[in-house]
Amino acid sequence: MTGDAHDEHDRARRFRDAALPHLDDLFTFAHYLMRNVADAEDAVQECYLRALRHFDSYRGPAMKPWLLAILKNVCKAEFARRSTAPAPSECDDAEPTAEQPPIWQQPQSSPEAELLRQWDDQTIRRLVAALPQPFREVIVLREINNLSYREIAEIAGVPVGTVMSRLARARTMLRAAWNTEEGSTT
Amino acid sequence: MNCAESETLLHALIDGELDAGHARDVEAHVAACPACADNLQAFRAMREAIAAANLKEPAPASLRSRIEASLPLHGVRAERARKPWAVWLLSLRSSWRSFFGGLALGTALSAAVAASLVIAVVRNDQQQETASEIVSAHLRSLQPGHLTDVETSDQHTVKPWFNGKLDVAPPVIDLTAQGFTLIGGRLDYINGEPEGAIIYRRRQHIINLFVARHAGAEHGAAKSETVRGFNIRHWTAEGLDFWAVSDISAGELDEFARKFTAALRRGPS
């Protein structure tokens, strides 16, 4: 009995040491996905709960992508729930149709016009946050969490090739939005 | 390579995800195509601007303390630590009701299954890595003077030698009568963790048997593979993970594994 209790304690301690250092990264990802603080907090909490439950089957190699994958599933389940609710969801996982909102125009081709200004952090955050879901997700995982395409593919649940093409689309959208922003403020 | 291919692949180039062959192809195309060269430059600049910005969002202190409070601290007995967990779960239930109120059990299950799929993929990588480490350890052990830390065919000498060196007591079993001669033990490192190695000889061939505590509850099926020309047999028994590695045939290694496990189940002689 005491052996079991000790094992349980040891397990929780190992989980704490391994998982807690990634709290900020998890919260960042959740906030970009859920788009508000309260939902992001709920999702991160649920993620830790599930991760501790599955910790016995965790064998590595990296803790962060594993936690992010669980978090992604938590958020996805919440979106699935919302999409059955009457309010329409703009954040579901479906690829956007060919019809793009006007903000995502093809970028202007003159490179002089797009000497990228060092936007303040807040502006960049806003531009990233405005991307449609699957594109926002790859940008956050790649640019903020520095994950490899393979790790992103596992979290997003798509092949590596799809990660590559989504990232290309996402950066093209971001660049267009960036140029629009530049045009509107100069 | 055309512009359409290059438009996608240049992102993988920026991210350092292309193999050398494709990287050369994209670079050759970009060198000959001004439009793609402009794109590459612009996306590189944008990526640097994003990297320079601080886009991480620190978790609110209240969230951090809630999660910290739910995990047992160093030196706290597990029985007492259970209380904050329960409190947390209760508070979670109320705050969660709004968020996951309509979450059907089916969704929760499929999410859990999806999470375990990820775990399966990740773990597979880890196993390959472990197999490769085991072959490296085996090769190291074959260098002069590296095979044994304690050299004896007496299992009652090898077994106590491991005491205090590992968090498990590797079962040391003499299989001389079955054609596998015990020649000693060694402390080795696999994936940075200390592991016990028990060394056997079959004719002129060395078998290294690595022993570690098995993590997780389920016991997978025994598995044979060949890495860099060496046969590896991995199995689980009595809460321990075993990896046998040798240049003897897969069939003989399987025979070794079966005889070892049978002797292990019979208990100490």
| pLDDT, tens digit, 9 for 90 and up, residues B167-200 | 888 888 889 888 999 988 888 888 778 889 999 9
CB contact under 8 A, B77 and A9: yes
Task: Say whether both B137 and B244 belong to one domain.
Answer: yes
Give the Cα separation of B32 and B29 in Å (integer): 5
Domain count within chain B: 2
Q: Which of A144, A157, A146, A150 is nearest to A28 (CA)?
A: A144
What CATH number should be reported for the domain holding residue B232?
3.30.200.100
The answer to whether A40 and B58 are in contact (CB under 8 A) is no
Nearest by CB to residue B45, choosing from A41, A69, A116, is A116
Q: What is the pLDDT of residue B132?
A: 83
Tell me the residue range of the domain where B142 lies. Answer: 129-266
With respect to residue B181, please indicate whether it lies within any of the assigned structural domains: yes
Query: Quick one: three-class SS letters along A99-145?
Result: CCCHHHCCCCCCHHHHCCCCCCHHHHHHHHHCCCHHHHHHHHHHHHC
A48 close to B (CB below 8 A): yes
Backbone angles phi, psi at A108, to 5 degrees: -65, 145
| ipTM attached to this prediction | 0.76
Which of A165, A46, A160 minimizes the C-alpha distance to B108?
A: A46
Is B83 inside a domain boundary?
no
Q: How many CB pairs under 8 A join A and B?
A: 195
Find out whether A114 and A108 touch, Cβ atoms under 8 Å: yes
Length of chain A: 186
Residue B107 with chain A: CB contacts under 8 Å: 77, 80-81
Q: From the list A37, A54, A154, which residue is nearest B116 (CB)?
A: A54
Going along chain A from its start, the domains and CATH numbers come out as: 2-84 (1.10.1740.10), 102-185 (1.10.10.10)
pLDDT per residue over B91-100, tens digit each?
Answer: 444 444 434 4
Q: Are residues B47 and B134 in the same domain?
A: no
Q: Which residues of B touch A13 (CB under 8 A)?
A: 71-72, 74
- Residue B118: CB atoms within 10 A of its CB come to 21
- A178 — contact with chain B (CB < 8 Å)? yes
Q: Which of residues 18-47 of A touch B (CB under 8 A)?
A: 20, 23-28, 31, 37, 39, 41-46
Residue B108 inside a domain? The answer is: no
Q: Which of A10-19, A105-114, A151-160, B179-188 has the lowest mean pLDDT?
A: A105-114
Say if residues A93 and A79 touch (Cβ distance below 8 Å): yes
Q: Is residue B69 part of a domain?
A: no
